[in-house]
Amino acid sequence: MVAALPLTLRGATLRRRGRRLVGPVDLTLGPCGVTVAIGPNGSGKTSLLRMMHGLQRVAEGAVDWSLPEAEARQRQAYVFQHPIALRRSVLANLAYPLRLRGVTRAGARAKAEEIAARFDLTAQLGQSAPSLSGGEMQRLALARALITMPEVLFADEPCAALDGAATREIEGHLTAAAASGTRLVMATHDMGQARRIADEVVFLLHGRIHESGPAARFFAGPSTPEAAAFLRGDIVE
Amino acid sequence: MLLRALLLCLLPLAAAAETMRMAVTTSFENSGLSEVLLPAIAAETDLDVELVVVGTGQALRLGEAGDVDAVLVHARTAEEAFVAAGHAPHRREIMYNDFVLVGPADDPAGLAEATSATEALARIAAAEVPFVSRGDDSGTHKAELALWEATGLPPEGEWYRPVGAGMGAALNTAVGMGAYVLSDRASWLAFGNTEGMALLFQGDPALFNQYAYLPVDPGKNDDIAGDAAARLEDWLVSERAQSLIDGYRVSGEQLFTFNATR
Amino acid sequence: MGDLLAGLGEALRLIVTLDAELIEITLRSLRVTLTALVIACVIGLPLGGWLAVRRFRLRRAVIATLNALIGLPPVVVGLVVYLLLSRSGPFGVLNLLFTPTAMIIAQVVIITPLVASIAHQAMRDLWSEYHDLLISMNATRGQRILTLLVDGRRALLTAALAGFGRAIGEVGAIMIVGGNIDGATRVLTTAIALETGRGQFALAVGLGLILIGLALVVSWASHWVLRTERQGTW
């Protein structure tokens, strides 16, 4: 199968009403591993992920997949910081992406039940999704994103509102997905989580990539004073 | 019975008899005479006559457009113009009833003492008491305007209130305002909401209200039931129709007088 | 007051005796209005969804027009439909004037803007909630609209009920295009207008009460149907 990766961003810039949200960004995402975007609030982590996923159109520059855009879109999934539940049952939420792709009702149902078991949601299958707890909801969002077995998974602060146990569960699912070949691109403000998961780090500041590189080297000794300050826990402006 | 009603509702045109449509005036429908005539027509001519109840102006427009097969109205000048314009081959007088002047029972304008219809209207104008006019270009409205013209007084002023509505609505309005109103006798007698109102002037031949039957020119379009309209006309001038029309009573009073020439 | 009480009595009498004419005109009212409603929903609900999902240059103008059309006087609709369906009009050959079909056409024109507008408002809110997710999942425009229609069905029921309410109580347009013909096109509202014109207030009020009762029954029934289906489907 021809891969959607690598993804190449060249001078990619996102603007809203004239204001620059992120960019210009030059970045290449290779075929495997976990890339974690870190940086202070407002540095453009979310915008970077949304731009790569194509939720927003770039104002300048280009976001190029190795496949035509329509095909590349079919191989990605995105988990939002605030999970969006369709006003349907958990089962229907899980089956939804498959149904969009034309999978039969029975086929989608079987897959949904299978992934629900993996994500410990079997008991909730018949429940209305908007009534789930925060942890269950994020598990549902992740399971729903992974049910299509995407080549690339974007996750924007997937554990932002969760307690320790729920965070551990989500991280487990994320690393499992990465281990089985899904390219993971995640934004987080939790440095511990970044250290636990990242293979590669992108440090953003003021909407630009300030520093990037292999996680081990970055955490051992960042090459810019701002990144070092950020890792120390100082306020970086 | 429920099933029968359901069938009636789902198959509105399933009746075996031939169907034709006739536009009639509100005052004719309100008189209740149609409820006596239509079953007799259905039984004796096998015609299912559907009545489209509208004002005279609209009735003639429906005939002009060829949307009905015949028209039964009471506005001689308009009817003659209708025939002259070729919308109907002829005009057949069937019967007449008469108009009456109705108003508040205490009669502030003193209509009871009037000796003619024009004098009665002149008294209303002089007293400037409220008068409700149909104001809808109907036969009754036209008759009212002709009477005003005969008085030589222009019906204008705060007291003259054209409501632009059918006979029933105009009567309701008059009751509400305590106003005088010109009504056909049939509508007045059949009217249920007569609180505080009384018939104050009647009997002047100037108040006679001639109904005429106009078969719509079948050449207008292929769908006009010309034969049915002719059969209905034959029945309307028959002796049987005469006895039903002359014999129709509301509150013990005869409403219509048959005067067709055979 | 006396007329109102008499009207209540009249309504009871008509219902208890299962008055054949009452049943006939009630069923015809329901048939005309429900048919018009189904057609209006088939047009209006996807139109509302499409307007919620689609961004185009004249979108605001279309929505403003839709909202203005809600205020269209039924009498004007009736007159225009009459002129179109008249035997001397452009669609005269269809011979639809003074039939229930003509009444359905007029009601569709009257309630479709209302249904579409309410549906649009409801689905616009739902769309702002779902927007990112459905874009992310690469749903086609048709799939987006379908999703909004399915998940917004409660709000859409409200839209449909508003349409039903307006249609079942409408008299001006159907009087003109239906003709209020006894046994063919007489429905509850035109019968009420007729009895009011005759000054038979008690009967008119009685028919009015039956009309209100009918609207209530339809409203309750549809809410009940939605509640029972809430669980168990997906």
Give the minimum alpha-carbon distance from C48 to chain A in angstroms, rounded to a whole number.
19
Residue C106 belongs to domain spanning: 2-227
Assess if residue A188 is contained within a domain: yes
Assign C234 a pLDDT band (cuts: 50, 70, 90).
very low
Residue C230 has a pLDDT of: 54
Assess if residue C234 is contained within a domain: no
CATH class for the region spanning B98-207: alpha beta
CA of residue A104 relative to chain centroid, distance: 27
For residues C29 and B8, is the Cβ–Cβ distance under 8 A?
no
Instruction: With H, G, I as helix, E, B as strand and everything else as coil, classify residue C180.
Output: coil
Binary contact (A78, C136; C-beta < 8 A): yes
**Would you state the torsion angle of the CA atoms of residues B168, B172, B174, B177, taken in this order, to the nearest 10 degrees?**
-160
Q: Is the pLDDT of residue B15 over 50?
A: no
CATH number of domain containing C179: 1.10.3720.10
Cβ neighbours, 10 Å, residue B92? 17
**Hey, which chains touch C, using 3+ CB pairs under 8 Å?**
A, B
Q: Distance between CA atoms of C20 and B9, rounded to whole angstroms?
A: 11
**Hey, which chains touch B, using 3+ CB pairs under 8 Å?**
C
> B169 and chain C: CB distance < 8 Å anywhere?
yes
Residues of chain B with C-beta less than 8 angstroms from the C-beta of C19 = none
> C181 and chain B: CB distance < 8 Å anywhere?
yes
Assess if residue C179 is contained within a domain: yes
Binary contact (C88, B65; C-beta < 8 A): yes
* Total count of domains within chain A: 1
Instruction: Read off the pLDDT of each residue in B180-200 and give the average, rounded to a whole number.
Output: 86
Instruction: With H, G, I as helix, E, B as strand and everything else as coil, classify residue C136.
Output: helix
- Predicted confidence (pLDDT) per residue in B163-174, tens digit: 888 888 888 888
Strand partners, A212: A202
Binary contact (C87, B190; C-beta < 8 A): no
- Predicted confidence (pLDDT) per residue in C12-21, tens digit: 888 888 888 8
CATH number of domain containing A224: 3.40.50.300
**Residue C173 parent element (H or E):** helix C172-178
Q: Is the pLDDT of residue C232 over 70?
A: no
Assess if residue C78 is contained within a domain: yes
For residues C48 and C60, is the Cβ–Cβ distance under 8 A?
no
Assess if residue A92 is contained within a domain: no
Assign B13 a pLDDT band (cuts: 50, 70, 90).
very low
pTM: 0.78
CB-CB: which of C87, C197, C198 is closest to B66? C87
Binary contact (A92, C234; C-beta < 8 A): yes
* Total count of domains within chain C: 1
One-letter amino acid at C186 equals R
What percent of chain B lies above the pLDDT cut of 70? 94
- Predicted confidence (pLDDT) per residue in B24-64, tens digit: 987 788 788 899 999 999 999 999 999 998 888 889 999 99
> C2 and chain B: CB distance < 8 Å anywhere?
no
CA of residue C141 relative to chain centroid, distance: 27
Residues of chain B with C-beta less than 8 angstroms from the C-beta of C1 = none
CB-CB: which of C126, C136, C233 is closest to A53? C136
Nearest CA in chain C to B32: C198
Binary contact (B5, C27; C-beta < 8 A): yes
Give the minimum alpha-carbon distance from A223 to chain C in angstroms, rounded to a whole number.
35
Residue C15 has a pLDDT of: 82
**Interface confidence (ipTM) of the complex:** 0.89
Assign B14 a pLDDT band (cuts: 50, 70, 90).
very low
Residues of chain C with C-beta less than 8 angstroms from the C-beta of A91 = 234
Nearest CA in chain B to C187: B9
**Hey, which chains touch A, using 3+ CB pairs under 8 Å?**
C
Assess if residue A123 is contained within a domain: no
Cβ neighbours, 10 Å, residue A63? 20
DSSP codes, A105-169: HHHHHHHHHHHHHHTT-GGGTTSBGGGS-HHHHHHHHHHHHHTT--SEEEEESTTTT--HHHHHH
Residues of chain A with C-beta less than 8 angstroms from the C-beta of C133 = 80, 84, 86
> B176 and chain C: CB distance < 8 Å anywhere?
no
> Could you tell me which CATH number the domain at B2-96+209-258 has?
3.40.190.10
What is the rounded average pLDDT for all residues in chain B? 87
Assess if residue C18 is contained within a domain: yes
Residues of chain A with C-beta less than 8 angstroms from the C-beta of C129 = 84
DSSP codes, chain A: ----PPEEEEEEEEEETTEEEEEEEEEEE-SSSEEEEE-STTSSHHHHHHHHHTSS--SEEEEE-SS-HHHHHHTEEEE-SSPPPPSSBHHHHHHHHHHHTT--HHHHHHHHHHHHHHTT-GGGTTSBGGGS-HHHHHHHHHHHHHTT--SEEEEESTTTT--HHHHHHHHHHHHHHHHTT-EEEEE-S-HHHHHHH-SEEEEEETTEEEEEEEHHHHHH--SSHHHHHHHHT----
Q: Is the pLDDT of residue C100 over 90?
A: yes
Nearest CA in chain C to A105: C234
* Numbered residues of chain C with Cβ closer than 8 Å to any chain A Cβ: 126, 129-130, 132-133, 135-139, 143, 147, 150-152, 230-234
Assign C228 a pLDDT band (cuts: 50, 70, 90).
low
Residues of chain C with C-beta less than 8 angstroms from the C-beta of A70 = 138
Q: Which residues of chain A have pLDDT under 50?
A: none
Assess if residue A51 is contained within a domain: yes
Assess if residue C107 is contained within a domain: yes
Residue A64 has a pLDDT of: 87
Residues of chain A with C-beta less than 8 angstroms from the C-beta of C231 = 126
Residue A202 has a pLDDT of: 93
Assess if residue C232 is contained within a domain: no
Residues of chain C with C-beta less than 8 angstroms from the C-beta of B224 = 87
The answer to whether chain B touches chain A by having 3 or more C-beta pairs less than 8 angstroms apart is no
Do the domains at B2-96+209-258 and B98-207 have one common CATH topology?
Answer: yes
Assess if residue C217 is contained within a domain: yes
Give the minimum alpha-carbon distance from A197 to chain C in angstroms, rounded to a whole number.
24
What is the rounded average pLDDT for all residues in chain C? 88
Q: How many residues does chain A have?
A: 237
Q: Is the pLDDT of residue B1 over 70?
A: no
Residue A161 belongs to domain spanning: 7-85+132-232
Residue B250 has a pLDDT of: 83
Over the range C23-61, which residues count as b (16 or more CB within 10 Å of their CB) and which as e? bbbbbbbbbbbebbbebbbebbbbbbbbbbbeeeeeeee
